[in-house]
């Protein structure tokens, strides 16, 4: 994933999905919007289910020249013909995964609110680093990634930065100058019309 001149869209799948229902919704979004990357982030630990969904959505994404990465299960990436993986634990295993998948694979790292974790991931070969959430909720530990982290990173580090978690129109407008990508997931999938929800959020950028 190349670093854009202005923020680009990055999609994160729901943790659980039905292909028959989800594929048309995803297709509609990919046909309407320019999406930099789609992350398949499934809660399932059933290998057959993960393979079946990844195999189908790979075709949906690749038909539109959209990269697809798999969260957690990096050993399935090559087998399924995916573009890479997302490691949610920062720099852990980054060097080993890079060695296994090679230089062409997209490997991203989720680093929460930790500048140190982000730096370690970048040094270990991450193609992008994501920080978040940007707002608190009843889930997690209540910690958020603040503006100063994004501002420092965008000024000092060349590896692209992804903002994710609890995004809204105000935050997208605020963080746009210091973010390369905005990752939208739960913010749109719970909406009865996900594409409309995405457009409403993205309208913050004018």
- Span 6-17, pLDDT tens digits: 899 999 999 999
Q: What's the CATH number for 8-201?
A: 3.20.20.70
Q: Would you place residue 139 in the very low, low, confident or very high pLDDT band (cuts 50, 70, 90)? A: low
The strand pairing partners of 71, in sequence order, are 86
What's the whole-number mean pLDDT along residues 90-108? Answer: 92
CA distance 182 to 16: 21
Q: What is the pLDDT of residue 115?
A: 95
**pLDDT, mean over the chain:** 94
Q: Is residue 141 within 8 Å of residue 175, measured between CB atoms?
A: no
- Span 27-58, pLDDT tens digits: 999 999 999 999 999 999 999 999 999 999 99
> Going along the chain, which residue ranges are E strands?
8-12, 35-40, 67-71, 84-87, 106-110, 128-131, 161-164, 181-184
Closest CA to 94 of 138, 129, 47: 129
Between 85 and 140, where is the model more confident? 85
Dihedrals phi, psi of 12, to nearest 5 degrees: -120, 130
Q: Would you place residue 141 in the very low, low, confident or very high pLDDT band (cuts 50, 70, 90)? A: low
- Span 76-87, pLDDT tens digits: 999 999 999 999
CA distance 136 to 205: 23
Instruction: Indicate if the alpha-carbon torsion angle 138, 10, 26, 73 is positive or negative.
Output: negative
Domains of the chain by residue range: 8-201
CA distance 160 to 3: 6
What's the whole-number mean pLDDT along residues 149-162? Answer: 97
Q: What is the pLDDT of residue 140?
A: 59
Query: Computed over its alpha carbons, how large is the radius of gyration of the chain?
Result: 16
**Model confidence at 100: pLDDT above 70:** yes
């Amino acid at each position: 994933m190349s670093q854009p001149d202005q923020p680009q869209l990055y999609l994160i799948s729901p943790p659980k999905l039905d292909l028959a229902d989800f594929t048309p919704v995803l297709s509609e979004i990919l046909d309407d919007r320019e999406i930099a990357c789609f992350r398949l982030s499934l809660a399932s630990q059933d290998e057959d289910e993960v393979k079946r969904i990844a195999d189908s959505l790979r075709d949906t994404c690749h038909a539109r020249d959209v990269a697809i990465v798999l969260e957690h299960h990096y050993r399935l990436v090559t087998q399924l013909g995916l573009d890479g993986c997302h490691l949610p634990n920062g720099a852990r295993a980054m060097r080993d995964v890079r060695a296994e998948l090679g230089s062409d694979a997209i490997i991203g790292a989720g680093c929460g609110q930790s500048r140190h974790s982000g730096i370690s991931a970048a040094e270990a070969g991450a193609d992008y680093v994501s920080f978040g959430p940007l707002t608190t909720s009843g889930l997690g530990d209540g910690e958020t990634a603040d503006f100063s982290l994004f501002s420092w990173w965008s000024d000092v580090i060349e590896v692209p930065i992804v903002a994710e978690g609890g995004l809204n129109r105000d935050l997208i407008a605020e963080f746009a100058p210091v973010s390369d990508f905005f990752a939208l997931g739960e913010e749109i999938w719970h909406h009865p019309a996900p594409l409309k929800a995405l457009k409403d959020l993205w309208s913050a950028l004018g």
